[in-house]
Amino acid sequence: MLIEPQGQSLTAIQELERSTGEKITDCYQCGKCTAGCPASMDPPPSVLIRKLQLGMFDEVVSEQSIWSCMACLTCSERCPKGVSPAAIIEGLKLIHLRDMDPQVQAEELGQEFLAQSTQQAVVSGFRKFI
């Protein structure tokens, strides 16, 4: 039975799919991603995806286990349906961080700090934290 998320949860899941390029409903719950995951995640990637299929976006985006993911891509390599759990989890992390109050104000960093910092590190950091 296909359970369709509704309301705010549907909007959030559509945004997650748009930003990651992944299709949550493509997952047929074979569990190969979870079987190969070295991170002992609880809940593991296949369960996170199943919860998203059931529309439980708020619960999934707040799961501590997404922070245990090391982005090793083993799950994405193993998926017979071409789903990338690693990309979905990274998308969840980004949404979680962007929903927080900004931890860093760009104007407070100062010219000296910026001059000594690697440009790519600053840009990628701000993509996540602001």
Tell me which of 13, 24, 75, 92 binds ligand SF4, using CB under 6 A. 75
CA distances from 7 to 99, 100, 109, 128 (A): 18, 22, 39, 26
Q: 3-21 as b/e, with b when 16 or more CB fall inside 10 Å?
A: eebeeebeebbeebbeebe
Interface mask (CB under 6 A) for ligand SF4, residues 97-116, using x and -?
Answer: --------------------
What is the total residue count of the chain? 130
Q: Is 18 helix (H, G, I), strand (E, B) or coil?
A: helix
Minimum gap (Å) between residue 122 Cβ and ligand SF4? 25
Chain-centre distance of CA 89, in angstroms? 3
Residue 13 or 27: the one with the smaller Cβ distance to ligand SF4 is 27
66 binds ligand SF4 (CB under 6 A): no
Binding segment toward ligand SF4, per CB under 6 A, in 16-24, 84-92, 102-110, 115-123? 84-92
55 binds ligand SF4 (CB under 6 A): no
Q: Is the distance from CB of 67 to CB of 48 less than 8 angstroms?
A: no
74 binds ligand SF4 (CB under 6 A): yes
16 binds ligand SF4 (CB under 6 A): no
- Tokens representing 67 are 């922070």
State the residues that interact with ligand SF4 by CB under 6 A: 27-33, 36-37, 39, 41, 45-46, 49, 69-75, 78-79, 81, 83, 85-86, 89
